[in-house]
A and B are shown apart, each in its own frame.
Chain A
Amino acid sequence: GAVVSQHPSWVICKSGTSVKIECRSLDFQATTMFWYRQFPKQSLMLMATSNEGSKATYEQGVEKDKFLINHASLTLSTLTVTSAHPEDSSFYICSGGPGAFFGQGTRLTVV
């Protein structure tokens, strides 16, 4: 199946700093990728749809200025959490490709 690689797998940052998460498609070209957020013991909530070469589409309630998405190539989408706060601590997961394969996820902890 399609391989999606996400990096880093975990990150700890100080409140007020920004964190970038990368999502790469290793064996396919992705014009569209998706970013999800998952709180402990909860389901995956779609945050935004990343579109190669154009602006991302954000779900209702998701702050586009806080969660910056860049999809500059067919194999890389990035999510930047700007001015992170403790409430942004969560598990972030990207997906893409036929069958919606998922990356390994990134556990963000803001202290």
Chain B
Amino acid sequence: GENVEQHPSTLSVQEGDSAVIKCTYSDSASNYFPWYKQELGKGPQLIIDIRSNVGEKKDQRIAVTLNKTAKHFSLHITETQPEDSAVYFCAASMGNTGGFKTIFGAGTRLFVKA
């Protein structure tokens, strides 16, 4: 089955700096890669996603890149703010129509210091 690895497990940056989180996946059939932000005591919130037919996607300060050949995908947060502090999860799925299970990475705890 699918296995998703995520690094680093903890990331501390200064406010205004960029943060990068990297993930790899094992199943070449996966074609949908969402990223989630989870705050303490809450469910994961989808912040951005990318499909396998796209190499890069950007939404304001957040961008994701996908290298399907290498089975790598990354989350980039620019101009970080203290409110970006949370746990971020990458995930992989075989589709985004709702019928495919999502496998998560271990998570990255991001600390943004003011």
**Residues of B with C-beta under 8 A to A1:** 46
Q: How many A-B residue pairs have CB under 8 A?
A: 58
Pick the contact of A44 from B34, B41, B104 — CB < 8 Å?
Answer: B104
Nearest chain-B residue to A46 (Cβ)? B101
Known contacts A44-B89, A99-B49; is A93 also within 8 Å of B44 by CB? yes
Size of A's binding interface in residues, CB under 8 A:
26
Question: Which residues of A have CB within 8 Å of B102?
Answer: 34, 46, 95, 100
Query: A18-67: which residues lie under 8 A (CB-CB) from chain B?
Result: 28, 30-32, 34, 42-46, 49
Contact B34 A104 (CB under 8 A): no
Q: Name the residue of chain B whose CB is nearest to the CB of A33.
A: B98
Nearest neighbor of A32 in chain B, beta-carbon distance: B99
B residues within 8 A CB of A44? 44, 89, 104
